[in-house]
Amino acid sequence: MDLHSYRVAPGQKLELSNWDPNDTGDIADKSEARQLLKIERKRIVALQERLFAEAQQSLLVILQATDTGGKDGTIKHVLKGVNQQGCRVRAFKVPNSVELAHDFLWRYHQHTPRDGYMMVFNRSHYEDVIVVRVKNLVEEEVWSKRYEQINDFERMLTANNTRVLKFYLHISKDEQKERLQARLDDPEKHWKFSTRDLAERARWDAYQVAFHDAIAKCSTDYAPWYVVPANNKWYRNLVVARVIANTLEEMNPQFPPPEPGLEDIVIAD
């Protein structure tokens, strides 16, 4: 699996329609992917414990996708077993009036991870150049300046010891149709279905343009975007888990040094 091929280089010419959402790299099948995912999860759990103990740096993972793209499933499968003490998930919905009365980054900044923590954003400040753009919620004059503001924000976070990783879960329009149909067919999935999703689906092309620009303009050396082939859930989970595990390894968190003289301590009966 060549993880590098999913990472968008700064300034790289990006054509999302050329990225195959069915790609499964060199993984034979679901059962192989599941075995490998277990290994990645073990790495994440062990490294996250070190990150928490060290309490000097943090990791922010951003998940974006079209509806049914699999953000929730990715969180469920990749974070299984991670100690809740040092890991949080935050989902962002339509902003409320207080949030709208501030600059667009205000509501996100409050939830960036503290030292030692791993934070996952289910949707993020990228909505402010994606849904906001597609639905004309603000003027172009406003959203078009946000790419640079986002890059500045992420640069500032990075300079303050927060690593930023961004994943776009890439599914095809046909796959979305199947997933929406499954939500209609299966009574246990009815709760996931909303007729609003159909209105969003009708804007598929506009969303693809908005995702493209967000990824192309905001994939930086310090906060890269990964375009993850996501038609196959098992491959998607493995790619995301491996990138997170590798990043944590690069961050190289260390247990803090013990208090001096521990070897002389005798615990009284």
- Binding interface with ligand ADP (CB under 6 A): 67, 91-95, 122-123, 127-128, 131-132, 137
Residue 166 beta carbon to ligand ADP: minimum distance, rounded to whole angstroms: 15
CB 192 to ligand ADP: min, Å: 8
Q: Which is nearer to ligand ADP, 42 or 177 (CB)?
A: 177
**How many C-beta atoms surround the C-beta of residue 256 within 10 A?**
11
Smallest gap from Cβ 30 to ligand ADP, in A, equals: 24
CB of 108 to ligand ADP, least distance (A): 9
CB nearer ligand ADP, residue 23 or residue 128: 128
Q: Which is nearer to ligand ADP, 4 or 93 (CB)?
A: 93
Rg (C-alpha) for the chain, rounded Å, is 20
The nearer residue to ligand ADP, 94 or 262, going by C-beta atoms, is 94
Q: Give min distance, CB of 68 to ligand ADP, in A.
A: 9
**Which tokens go with 251?**
């961050």
Give the residue with the Cβ less far from ligand ADP, 87 or 132: 132
Closer to ligand ADP by CB, 127 or 175: give it. Answer: 127
Q: What are phi and psi of 36, to 5 degrees?
A: -65, -35
Could you tell me the smallest distance in angstroms from the CB atom of residue 24 to ligand ADP? 25
Q: Report how far residue 134's alpha carbon sits from residue 206's, in angstroms, rounded to the nearest whole number.
A: 6
* Block residue for tokens 């990783």: 165
80-94: buried (b, 16+ CB within 10 Å) or exposed (e) per residue? eebeeebbebbebee
> Considering Cα of 133, then 135, then 139, then 140, what sign does the dihedral take?
positive
Find the residue with minimal CB distance to ligand ADP: 127
Closer residue to ligand ADP in complex, CB, 124/220: 124
CB of 49 to ligand ADP, least distance (A): 29
Of 4 and 196, which has the nearer Cβ to ligand ADP?
Answer: 196
The minimum distance between CB 16 and ligand ADP, in angstroms, equals: 19
Q: In the numeric block, which tokens belong to residue 166?
A: 């961004």
Separation of alpha carbons 252 and 246, rounded Å: 10
